Amino acid sequence: MQPSFRLGRIAGIPISANWSLIFLMALLAWDLESAVFPASDPGQSSGVYLIMGVIAAASFVVGILLHEFGHAIQARREGMTIHSITLWLFGGVARFEGFFPSGAAEIRVALAGPAVSLVLGFGLLGLSDVSALPLAVQTVLWWLAMINIILGVFNMLPALPLDGGRTLRGIVWATTGSLERATRAAFQVSRVVATGMIAVGIMLAVTWGDVVGGVWLALIGVFVLQAAGAERLINTAPAPAPDGRRIRDVMHPFTASVTPDTQISDLSAAIAAAPPGTAYPVLDDGQVVGLFVCDIARGLPAERQAIARVADLMVAQQELTQIDPTTPLATAREAIARDRWGRALVVDGGILVGIVHLSDVAGRPLAI
């Protein structure tokens, strides 16, 4: 994706929009104003249709954001750290630190987004039947209901990185116990589905004259094909050939820490300024007792932040992965990928010397 601009934070999660989102909203508002709403609600003025189109397009983007928050909220319940949510041309992307802890967790996180869209869609469908509302409002509500239901159903197509593809992979993963085997199976199905989408899109554009819809579907098919290939590379590629590098060559040196008794309110400025994924070791008398993840604190209500301590939010020491600085990268990659938090403390002779993140040894954050 091209560069994005920050919209703010909701529940501690950074929200961004790619510039392509402006194109999506403009195209959608134009199509609704010029074709969809005049056919559904004839007799309105062009100004009314334009207002209806703009409101519907903006509300659709809000629906996409809620869909992604469904993923994000469930991911937090699974113990994952939320990196960000980005809205763009083909919808939205929620990014998490590290990997899913299990196939069952991936299924639950994947299904949460479509569940939100379907609940929202059927709720709006009920509102659109309220006869006391003006016809123009009913028309917009009905369209939003249909588009959210379509969004929920479409995302369940069994193709990575769509939610249906992740659900399929989660099922195979939970059944076989192998993430690599599950990813390969999901990729094969994704390739068939993506090819079908491209073919149907071309038919829509050439045979039935629906150029916008056909091109759109074909582009989504191309995106799915590329994204599924990227998923396969990330989750099935063999570990890199040994290059002599070890954890000490990529770790972040230990430079700051907090204590269990530190008040969250005393850290509020540092938490707000910290990049997504920032974490600090928690030391008590020089010994590591846990890890304080800033993203967890960002999600707290203000009144809770005022009274909470680091000890109330930290990840306990027994849940953390610890690695010797001389560990080869290939070995460390496997250990950190299994870590629930996608991190490891680098400990040398019982002394904390650094922190290493999954992205330091295995690439980009996970997206859904």
For residue range 132-176, what is the model confidence (pLDDT) as tens digits? 889 999 999 999 999 999 999 999 999 888 899 999 999 998 998
User: Residue 367 falls within a domain, yes or no?
Assistant: no
> Which pLDDT does position 132 carry in this prediction?
86
Q: How many CB atoms are closer than 10 A to CB 119?
A: 15
> Which pLDDT does position 367 carry in this prediction?
53
Q: What order do you get walking across the sheet with 279-284 strand by strand?
A: 279-284, 287-293, 315-316
* Cα–Cα distance measured from residue 174 to residue 103, given in angstroms and rounded to the nearest whole number: 5
We report the CATH number of the domain holding residue 351 as 3.10.580.10
In the numeric block, the tokens 């490891």 are attached to: 344
- 350 and 326 fall within a common domain: yes
* Phi, psi for 307 (deg, rounded to 5): -120, -15
Structure tokens at 92: 């939205």
- 295 and 165 fall within a common domain: no
- 227 and 92 fall within a common domain: yes
- 334 and 211 fall within a common domain: no
Ranges assigned E (strand) in the chain: 4-10, 13-18, 82-88, 91-96, 252-253, 279-284, 287-293, 315-316, 322-323, 343-348, 351-357, 366-367
Contact predicate 111/155, CB 8 Å? no
DSSP 229: H
Give 259-298 pLDDT, tens digit per residue: 888 888 888 777 777 766 677 888 887 778 888 887 777 7
- 290 and 346 fall within a common domain: yes
- Domain edge (last residue) among 195, 210, 236: 236
User: Residue 368 falls within a domain, yes or no?
Assistant: no
Contact predicate 308/276, CB 8 Å? no
Angle between helices 179-206 and 211-236 (to 10 degrees): 170
Provide the residue-wise pLDDT of the chain in tens; the chain has 368 residues.
445 678 888 887 888 888 888 888 898 898 888 888 998 888 888 899 999 999 999 999 999 999 999 999 998 888 777 778 888 877 788 877 656 778 898 999 999 999 999 999 999 999 998 888 899 999 999 999 999 999 999 999 998 888 999 999 999 989 988 888 888 898 899 999 989 989 998 988 888 877 777 887 888 888 888 877 767 765 655 545 455 678 888 887 766 778 888 888 888 777 777 766 677 888 887 778 888 887 777 767 777 777 888 888 887 777 778 888 888 877 777 677 666 667 788 887 777 788 887 767 754 445 55
Expressed as residue numbers, the domain containing 134 is: 4-236
> Which pLDDT does position 241 carry in this prediction?
46
CA dihedral 138, 143, 147, 150 (to 10 degrees): 90
Of the CA atoms within 13 Å of residue 65, those in its CB half-sphere come to: 18
* Cα–Cα distance measured from residue 122 to residue 193, given in angstroms and rounded to the nearest whole number: 27
Number of domains in the chain: 2
- 201 and 268 fall within a common domain: no
In the numeric block, the tokens 């399929």 are attached to: 168
Ranges assigned E (strand) in 19-113: 82-88, 91-96
* Cα–Cα distance measured from residue 296 to residue 46, given in angstroms and rounded to the nearest whole number: 48
- Domain edge (last residue) among 204, 236, 268: 236
Catalytic machinery residues: 68
pTM: 0.65
